[in-house]
Amino acid sequence: MGFLEYLETTALATFIRESSSYLGFPTFLFMHTLGLSIVVGASTVVSMRVLGMARSIPLQPLVRLFPFMWIGFIITSISGLGLAIASATQKFVNPILLVKLVFIGFAIPVMWIMEKKIFRNTAGYKEGEDSSGKMLAGSLLILWLIVTIAGRLIAYSSTILGH
How many whole angstroms separate alpha carbon 111 and alpha carbon 31?
Answer: 21
Q: What is the pLDDT of residues 33-55, one digit of tens each?
A: 999 999 999 999 999 999 989 88
- Specify the length of the chain in residues: 163
Q: What is the pLDDT of residues 130-146, one digit of tens each?
A: 688 899 999 999 999 99
Domain range annotation of the chain: 2-161
Q: How many CB atoms lie within 10 A of CB 55?
A: 10
Q: Which of 101, 91, 97 is nearest to 25 (CA)?
A: 91
